[in-house]
Amino acid sequence: MEELERILSAQKVTGGQYPDFFPFENPGDKLLGQFVKERKYEDRPIYEIKDLNGKTWSVGAPTILRSIFEDLKPQPGDFVLITYEGEGKKGKGGRKVKLFSVGKIPEEEGKKILEKAKTAEKLTTTVEKTKEEKPKVKVDEIKEFFEKLFEFYDEMNKKDIEKRIQNRFQGVTFDDIIAICSDFTTYDEKTETLRKK
């Protein structure tokens, strides 16, 4: 009996403890994160969004935001960006309407974008750290070099790219090149090829 109580106590969920509401106060305030779930308060939806730092927020759903979420139908894990756009004209009740915009992308696509951003950030950080050790390699310099190459080539495989960066950009990896060149190339994982967009 005590063992069962101990196990259940460790797994209990206390009712009424919800994440804080995100403070949309000024036009331009944004919440970027992953959709967790929708819960109800009376008959109104409240959305839970986990930001990129891991904190989960509650987001109340005024009419416009509720309508957008009904259209977008985010699934748990999807990435969303909610932006408070300010107040609009007065509504039926005489109160000003809060205006929002929402962007949504599927979970896998969002994770890929974040991974590319982390790789590019890592490269920039690595370059900054090695400043005293060797001449600083600038991301812009690498990007410019490959933009010029892709004026002549429609695609380049991993081996060719690694040869070109081996002596010219020491410490730069093929994954770094994928991230840096993502504006004007796409990467085919099967053939390990960068292709001009």
What range defines the domain where residue 24 resides? 14-105
Domain termination site, one of 89, 105, 121 = 105
Please indicate, yes or no, whether residues 115 and 190 belong to a single structural domain of this protein.
yes
Q: What is the pLDDT of residue 115?
A: 84
74 near 80, Cβ under 8 Å? Answer: yes
Please indicate, yes or no, whether residues 67 and 122 belong to a single structural domain of this protein.
no
What are the Cα distances from residue 29, in Å, to 68, 81, 110, 114, 137?
Answer: 17, 10, 21, 21, 35
Residue 135 has pLDDT above 50, yes or no: no
CA distance 171 to 142: 12
Please indicate, yes or no, whether residues 62 and 121 belong to a single structural domain of this protein.
no
Q: What is the pLDDT of residues 9-31, one digit of tens each?
A: 666 555 567 888 998 889 999 99
pLDDT band at 134 (very low <50, low <70, confident <90, very high): very low
CATH number at residue 64: 2.40.50
Percent of the chain with pLDDT over 70: 83
Please indicate, yes or no, whether residues 98 and 18 belong to a single structural domain of this protein.
yes
Mean pLDDT (the chain) is 82
For CA atoms 32, 37, 38, 39, the dihedral sign is negative
pLDDT band at 197 (very low <50, low <70, confident <90, very high): confident
Which stretch of 37-46, 109-118, 131-140, 178-187 has the lowest confidence by average pLDDT?
131-140
Q: What is the pLDDT of residue 149?
A: 86
Please tell me whether residue 1 adopts helix, strand or coil conformation. coil
Q: For residue 175, which of 196, 190, 189, 154 has the smallest C-alpha distance?
A: 189
Buried/exposed 159-179: b ≥16 CB within 10 Å, e otherwise: eebeeebeeebeebeeebbbb
| 185 found inside a domain | yes
pLDDT band at 131 (very low <50, low <70, confident <90, very high): very low
Please indicate, yes or no, whether residues 115 and 181 belong to a single structural domain of this protein.
yes
Q: What is the pLDDT of residues 82-124, one digit of tens each?
A: 999 988 876 666 777 888 899 998 989 888 888 887 776 766 6
The reported pTM is 0.54
